Amino acid sequence: MLYPVGMPTPVELDFNPPQPAESARKTDGPPPFESWGRYPAYDAELKHLHWQGDYPRAIDGVHHGALAVGMGRSYGDVCLLKDGTLLQTTTMDRLLDFDPVTGLLTAEAGITLAQILDFAVPRGYFLPVTPGTKYVTLGGAIANDIHGKNHHQAGTFGCHVTQFELVRSDGRRMLCSPTSHPDYFEATIAGMGLTGVIPWAQIRLKPIVSRMIDYQGIQFHGIDEFLDLSSQAAHVEYTVSWVDVTATGKNFCRGIFMQGDHSQAPSPLKLSPKPKLVFPMDLPGFALNRLSVGAFNTLFFHKQMKKRVSALQDYEPFFYPLDAVLKWNRMYGKRGLLQFQYVIPWEHAKEGTVAILFEVAKSGMASFLAVLKAFGDAPSPGMMSFPKPGITLALDFPIRPEKSFALFDRLAEMTREFGGRLYPAKDARMTSTQFQAFYPQWERFARFKDPALTSSFWERVIGGRLGVGGSGR
């Protein structure tokens, strides 16, 4: 057994599901592996990794490149490889070690944050950083250096990763941490899966005494009120805003500022119930339009009748409101959705955000998942990490090539003009010129690329299958 470089022998915690015997591991079924936006849709061979020794063995005879993938919760093509080989890691989902005193948890990289929460919450621990869905893998969280509602206090997920192993296609295995192979540590956090395969990682969890969040929702009108609320809430751990991007005139940039802290009043740390609702079918493309989304937004804004409401809320609806309905991306129909997320640094954050919101409202393209947040200034440990101090806005649009692509392209260009950048995990459109302007450090990063690995995103923004980066196998 290869486990693990520099780590104790894995403890088979009771929590772990039984693993299939080697002989029972069936060869891998047909694709399809989709990203969350379901655009673009590419064929690829799908192989499952079961333990860290499977890579590089799994790519023997593979000539069109390979890419490790997790839950496919990235929206665009950062987790896709057209006609290549995808190495799905969700079959590597065991917990390896947990220290109940320090909160240090070591697990295989295909474990999901949902599985970690099921283990950790009843033991009085929570994720240090979580995105808006818990159905992402540990490996995926590291590879995109994800951020959450506590970015202004806690920085990115990578800030809480103490070490991981990196396996390269030449069979080399490296223990990476801030002190061991620190250059590979830095390149792999937000490395978009291109520097090697992460078989396991260790993170530091944070203690909690309750599942509950002390929540406040505050209505705001306009960017200035949003900015005031963000600075008043600097001491609150979690802040995020929903903004009505369909509103114009005096309602322009109205929204709800949501803030919360883990409750300090002890209460039972029960397991979360499993979600029961599944979005039943693909909606027809016309179902989401300016009228339906506009009506939803008005209802959502007025659902909160008062200017300010306070409540004690379970962490599930606070962090993961969308996870209550599985496969909700079907709402966008078979053509899928485009996400667009920028960060614009403080220097131009306000004017850039107003200009972009104005452009969206003017376009008539509807987005009802519009999330606005002020990032903090904690440095991200990843060479290619997306967050930086400023305002971030995430929007999504149903795919209507003639309209949404043109709007996206305009917004991406505006982002560049305001000195911002887009988030690869949420992207399917940025051009190679834009990417290289957003991430001028890409050439340094490319030196750490594993020559056997690539993605459709990388090919789109850099070009050439397996063409750029890394030293030979």
Question: Which residues contact ligand FAD (rule: CB under 6 A)?
Answer: 36, 67-74, 78-79, 89, 109, 131-133, 136-137, 139-141, 143-144, 146-148, 192-193, 197-198, 322, 425, 455
* DSSP H or E run through 397: strand 390-398
**Length of the chain, in residues:** 473
The answer to whether 330 touches 227, Cβ cutoff 8 Å, is no
CB of 314 to ligand FAD, least distance (A): 18
CB of 197 to ligand FAD, least distance (A): 5
81 or 253: CB nearest ligand FAD: 81
CB of 268 to ligand FAD, least distance (A): 27
CB of 424 to ligand FAD, least distance (A): 8
34 or 358: CB nearest ligand FAD: 34
CA nearest 33: which of 5, 64, 71? 71
CB of 279 to ligand FAD, least distance (A): 13
CB-closest chain residue to ligand FAD: 193
The answer to whether 65 touches 59, Cβ cutoff 8 Å, is no
CB of 296 to ligand FAD, least distance (A): 17
CA 119 to chain centre: 21
The answer to whether 446 touches 436, Cβ cutoff 8 Å, is no
150 or 434: CB nearest ligand FAD: 150
What dihedral do alpha carbons 164, 24, 42, 278 form, nearest 10°?
-90
168 or 254: CB nearest ligand FAD: 168
133 or 367: CB nearest ligand FAD: 133
The answer to whether 166 touches 450, Cβ cutoff 8 Å, is no
73 or 429: CB nearest ligand FAD: 73
CB of 244 to ligand FAD, least distance (A): 19
Farthest-apart Cα atoms in the chain, separation: 66
The answer to whether 39 touches 418, Cβ cutoff 8 Å, is no
Instruction: Give the Cα separation of 142 and 385 in Å (integer).
Output: 10
What 3-state DSSP class applies to 219? strand
CA nearest 169: which of 56, 296, 321, 297? 56
93 or 214: CB nearest ligand FAD: 93
* Residue 44, C-beta contacts closer than 8 angstroms, at least 6 positions apart: 31, 33, 80, 81, 82, 83, 84, 85, 86
52 or 353: CB nearest ligand FAD: 52
Kindly tell me the burial class for residue 426, based on how many C-beta atoms sit within 10 Å of its own C-beta (0-12, 13-18, 19 or more). buried
CB of 83 to ligand FAD, least distance (A): 16
